Amino acid sequence: MKRTFAATLVALSLGVSFPAQASVADDVRAVYDQFAAAQNARDLAKVRTFLVDSPKFLWVSDGMSFWGPDALVKRMAEFQLAEVWRVDPDLADAAIVEVGDGAAYIHMPLALTIGLKAKPDVIHFLVSILCVKQAEGWRIAALFTTTEKTK
- pLDDT of 135 higher than 80: yes
* Residue 19 pLDDT: 44
**How many folded domains does the chain comprise?**
1
The answer to the question of residue 10 being in a domain is: no
Asked, for residue 42, whether it belongs to a domain, the answer is yes
Q: How far apart are the first and last CA of the chain?
A: 50
Predicted local distance difference test score (pLDDT) of residue 9: 41
Residue 56 lies in a domain: yes
Question: What Cα–Cα distance (Å) separates residue 6 from each residue in 15, 118, 148?
Answer: 14, 64, 50
Whole-number percent of the chain with pLDDT over 70:
84
Task: Report yes or no on 55 lying in a domain.
Answer: yes
* Mean per-residue pLDDT, 126-151: 91
Asked if the structure places residue 28 within a domain, the reply is yes
Whether the Cβ atoms of residue 125 and residue 145 lie closer than 8 Å to each other: yes
Question: Is 127 domain-assigned?
Answer: yes
pLDDT, average across residues 53-59 = 96
CATH, residue 131: 3.10.450.50
Q: Select from 148, 24, 141, 44 the least CA-distant residue to 89.
A: 148
- Name beta bridge partners: 58: 67, 142
**CA–CA separation, 71 and 138 (whole Å):** 20
pLDDT in tens, 80-134: 999 999 999 998 899 999 999 999 999 999 999 999 999 999 999 999 999 999 9
Q: State the residue range of the domain holding 88.
A: 17-147
pLDDT band at 149 (very low <50, low <70, confident <90, very high): confident
Residue 71 placed within a domain: yes
Any domain includes 12: no
pLDDT of residue 3: 47
pLDDT confidence band for 151 (50 / 70 / 90)? low
